[in-house]
């Protein structure tokens, strides 16, 4: 530290005398000196910094450009499959046996039939039963082991439905025994009437128009299988 002071001692003495002579001129001169010194210091620092930067010797790859090429298809034309010589036969629709069966429940869905009458479209003919049901066996008759039958009458409408069901007669006895003696009873009339309302018919056609048919009789037989 003392060596540094010894070096700059003459400069300090010169600055001190300059300030004693004229402090304004001395201050301006000192400012110029400091500015020049800082300028050279910055130049030196920049020179030293540039030497520390490493040169990039990496090689740059040129851009790769693919040439345009025409793509040739392997197959320009193709053969269509040959049509079969024989067409498959149509599947035959199942035939339904709609013959009326007394006292048998046809366990199939009962769609609503609607026959719209048109002039000459339907051939004239009588009504034909399409769907029948088995009536619900009355609990009281089942508990007592009573068998028999009931006859009802009703009207077949233009659409094939049943309405205006009226019980005609009812008898109790064993329908499976030809020698049985029937007696009048009404225990089966209600069940027979309810079952009749579920029947479906093809309506009667007269002059191409569906018409109502009145007083159509129908017999419901009630038999216990476990007897």
**Average pLDDT of the residues in 11-32:** 74
Give residue-wise pLDDT tens across range 89-101: 544 444 434 444 4
Using the predicted structure, report yes or no on whether residue 197 has a pLDDT greater than 90.
yes
pLDDT of residue 71: 61
Exposure string for 13-45, b = 16+ CB within 10 A, e = fewer: eebeeeeeeeeeebeeeeeeeeeeeeeeeeeee
**Average pLDDT of the residues in 120-147:** 87
Highest mean pLDDT, choosing among 12-16, 32-36, 188-192? 188-192
Residues 200 and 110: beta-carbon distance below 8 Å: yes
- What confidence category does residue 212 fall into, taking pLDDT thresholds of 50, 70 and 90? very high
Residues 174 and 162: beta-carbon distance below 8 Å: no
Six-digit token string for 124 = 């004239």
pLDDT of residue 149: 96
pLDDT of residue 36: 85
Six-digit token string for 116 = 């719209």
* DSSP SS3 for 192: helix
Six-digit token string for 190 = 């209600």
Per CATH, domain 128-222 is 3.30.2420.10: yes
Q: Does the pTM exceed 0.75?
A: no
Distance, in Å, from the CA atom of 163 to the CA atom of 157, rounded to the nearest integer, reads 7
Distance, in Å, from the CA atom of 146 to the CA atom of 188, rounded to the nearest integer, reads 10
CA-based nearest residue to 113, from 193, 218, 198, 192: 198
pLDDT of residue 204: 94
- Least confident segment among 70-84, 87-101, 179-193: 87-101
| Greater pLDDT, 150 or 51 | 150
pLDDT of residue 43: 83
**Average pLDDT of the residues in 215-225:** 94
Please count the helices (runs of H) and the strands (runs of E) in the chain: 4, 8
- What confidence category does residue 33 fall into, taking pLDDT thresholds of 50, 70 and 90? confident
**Average pLDDT of the residues in 16-29:** 74
- Other C-beta atoms lying within 10 Å of the C-beta of residue 196: 24
The domain limits of the chain are: 2-51, 128-222
């Amino acid at each position: 530290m003392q060596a540094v002071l010894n070096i700059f001692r003459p400069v300090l003495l010169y600055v001190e005398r300059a300030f004693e002579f004229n402090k304004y001129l001395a201050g301006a001169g000192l400012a110029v000196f400091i500015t020049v010194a800082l300028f050279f210091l910055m130049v030196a620092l920049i020179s030293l910094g540039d030497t520390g930067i490493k040169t990039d010797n990496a090689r740059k790859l040129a851009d790769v450009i693919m040439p345009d090429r025409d793509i040739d298809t392997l197959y320009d034309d193709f053969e269509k499959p040959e049509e079969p010589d024989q067409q498959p036969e149509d599947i035959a629709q199942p035939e339904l046996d709609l013959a009326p069966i007394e006292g048998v429940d046809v366990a199939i869905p009962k769609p609503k039939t609607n026959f719209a009458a048109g002039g000459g479209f339907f051939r004239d003919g009588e009504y034909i039963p399409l769907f029948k049901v088995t009536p619900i066996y009355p609990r009281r008759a089942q508990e007592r082991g009573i068998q028999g039958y009931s006859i009802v009458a009703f009207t077949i409408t233009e659409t094939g439905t049943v309405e205006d069901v009226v019980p005609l007669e009812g008898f109790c006895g064993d329908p499976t025994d030809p020698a049985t003696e029937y007696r009048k009873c009404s225990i089966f009339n209600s069940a027979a009437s309810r079952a009749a309302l579920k029947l479906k018919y093809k309506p009667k056609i007269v002059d191409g128009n569906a018409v109502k048919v009145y007083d159509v009789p129908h017999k419901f037989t009630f038999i216990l299988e476990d007897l």
